[in-house]
A and B are shown apart, each in its own frame.
Chain A
């Protein structure tokens, strides 16, 4: 089902620490997942994606982990920087085709110097 957040949870981290943002998805048939970063007043920006036949995928300073057993997705950001401060959304590809992405509620990441 679709997820609508009434307010955004916030993760506060110190600059240089690692951040872990979690997401629970709803549809066990979803087979493609994406993490987006959204800065204030802008559209979402693609960070990293993963298909359901993988458990882990790494990018530059970011890692996505997928646990299909518990329908859980996480985004790990290494050596978090002030520029990482934003709202992060996970998105799942709805079953039945690749045309619809359903977004999670989002998490605000606040990086403190």
Chain B
């Protein structure tokens, strides 16, 4: 499976500021990456599908202007949480899929706390 690395692993920011999270596919060229969000004691919710060289596809209810996704290369996708608010505090996890009917391989997530 693919090895996925996320950075930072945790970040604390003040309300109103923006935070960028990086997701790298270390051993696989990923044309598509997936961003999930997980609130405490809850399941993973798909936020958006990041597409290399084109616009991301957002799930219903996810604000594309608030969660900016850039997938400029086959190994890097970034998620920027703009004008963060305390309710954006969550665990953000990216993933890569290496084939059709194959599992997602996840990074170790980024814990965002907005104060």
Chain A residues proximal to chain B, CB less than 8 Å: 2-8, 31-32, 34, 36, 41-46, 49, 51, 89, 91, 93, 98-106
For A43, what are the chain B residues with a Cβ–Cβ distance below 8 Å? 4, 6, 93, 95, 106-109
For A7, what are the chain B residues with a Cβ–Cβ distance below 8 Å? 41
Q: How far is the CA of A46 from the CA of B36 in the complex (A)?
A: 16
For B16, what are the chain A residues with a Cβ–Cβ distance below 8 Å? none
The main secondary structure of chain B at its interface with chain A is strand
Interface CB pairs A-B, < 8 A, 23: A4-B42, A4-B43, A4-B45, A5-B41, A7-B41, A8-B41, A34-B104, A41-B108, A42-B108, A43-B4, A43-B6, A44-B44, A44-B106, A46-B1, A49-B103, A89-B43, A93-B101, A100-B46, A101-B46, A102-B46, A103-B45, A105-B42, A106-B43
